[in-house]
Amino acid sequence: MDPSKDIGSYGYGSVAWKERMESWKQKQERLHQARNDGGKDWNGDGDDADLPLMDEARQPLSRKVPIPSSLINPYRMIIVIRLVIVCLFFHYRVMHPVHDAFVLWLISVICEIWFAMSWILDQFPKWFPIERETYLDRLTLRFDKEGQPSQLAPVDFFVSTVDPAKEPPLVTANTILSILAVDYPVDKLSCYVSDDGAAMLTFEGLSETSEFAKKWVPFCKKYSIEPRAPEWYFQQKIDYLKDKVVPNFVRDRRAMKREYEEFKIRINALVAKAQKVPEEGWTMQDGTPWPGNNVRDHPGMIQVFLGQSGGLDVEGNELPRLVYVSREKRPGYNHHKKAGAMNALVRVSAVLTNAPYMLNLDCDHYVNNSKAVKEAMCFMMDPLVGKKVCYVQFPQRFDSIDRHDRYANKNVVFFDIN
């Protein structure tokens, strides 16, 4: 710095510098005030129209919802009462041994202590239950703005099946259709189906499913229907016209239901055909033998049914990638069952799509919430908590479960409380 020059020539103490500094301070004050006032302009002049958007984009994508003490404290009191009763029970059991059958008494006490310890461990998550809420609007504002390329992370779905006789192809088809129709950018989504039984029935069923998906996926996205597994959607005993304002919905729904019924007939025909296995084994359309005729000894098979290379829907839009995978098997090698199948899917997906996130589903577990992937991304892509999160578990919901849980499945209790 030259002492002979005016300090204003360097920008220090000049009017321009002061104006920029004051402008920055005012902007920070308005931003701070907007956070306190819920994003409203602090002085009402409306100069910073994008201030609420900036503030919204900085906020977390999820939060823990506090549970009212009036709801959780009564249950905690019940836990304490039960714990006291258990302690009194063990005090009586220990102080009154059965000398005539001491060994049996000791074994029974040890078993009772084991069950008591498992019960106590089960109470910890119920004592401090956690409920979380996600903000999909903030996720969209930050990573999926309209008119701009989506910055959401790619996701690979893994679906595993083995025996189409035990895992009906129609059930697997519904799972795949619910995946292909999720609310997520199609170029960020891929579905890999592992056929560990190398069944031609599964392959042909997947081919039929990919053709039906060209009609089903645009219908789901056009009318925002839930759930997006057709079997369960058409079985719902609800008012399906609620919140629907498009006049063509009824006509399109009837047409789609008819299309699905015809799709079911085609799948049933494939199942009936598979009951009669030819003596020379199955052959493909070009006359070559099906590679999976010998389930324990066959080469690996990969077939891409849908994806960026083709397979547009009826409206000309791209569909998510759908890939059939049957890993190689040789006699004398341990293939590690489902773990080995999952490993094969990871290796295949690493070559084709290499998505940073994976979602694993059984072939009979469909996606009952089309925004489930975005819900997970609210945790994975959150700049505050995303670095600490490596796994997101969605709660399972079972259809046709008796409401009173007479068989003690506790499917709802486990996921709602834990």
Residues making up the annotated binding site are: 160, 166-167, 196, 337-338, 362
Contact present, 367 and 179 (Cβ < 8 Å): yes
Q: What is the distance, to the nearest Å, from the Cα of residue 202 to the centroid of all Cα atoms in its chain?
A: 23
- Cβ contacts of 286-294, under 8 Å, gap ≥ 24: 290/200, 291/198, 292/195, 292/197, 292/198, 292/199, 292/200, 292/326
Three-state DSSP state, 62 = strand
Which are the contacts of 43, defined by CB distance < 8 A and separation ≥ 6? Answer: 30
Q: Rounded distance, CA 168 to CA 354, Å?
A: 29
What single string gives the DSSP state of each residue in 381-405? S-TTTGGG-----PPP--TT--TT-
Q: Rounded distance, CA 115 to CA 21, Å?
A: 68
Burial grade of 385 (CB within 10 A; 0-12, 13-18, 19 or more): middle
Residue ranges of the annotated binding site for Mn(2+) are 338, 362
Which are the contacts of 377, defined by CB distance < 8 A and separation ≥ 6? Answer: 61, 139, 143, 152, 153, 357
Contact present, 252 and 261 (Cβ < 8 Å): no
Residue ranges of the annotated binding site for UDP-alpha-D-glucose are 160, 166-167, 196, 337
The residues that bridge with 35 in the sheet, in sequence order, are none
Closest CA to 195 of 78, 331, 295: 295
What's the start-to-end Cα distance of the chain, in Å?
Answer: 65
Three-state DSSP state, 359 = strand
Q: Rounded distance, CA 380 to CA 184, Å?
A: 15
Burial grade of 13 (CB within 10 A; 0-12, 13-18, 19 or more): exposed
CA distances from 53 to 136, 195, 292, 308 (A): 14, 46, 55, 34
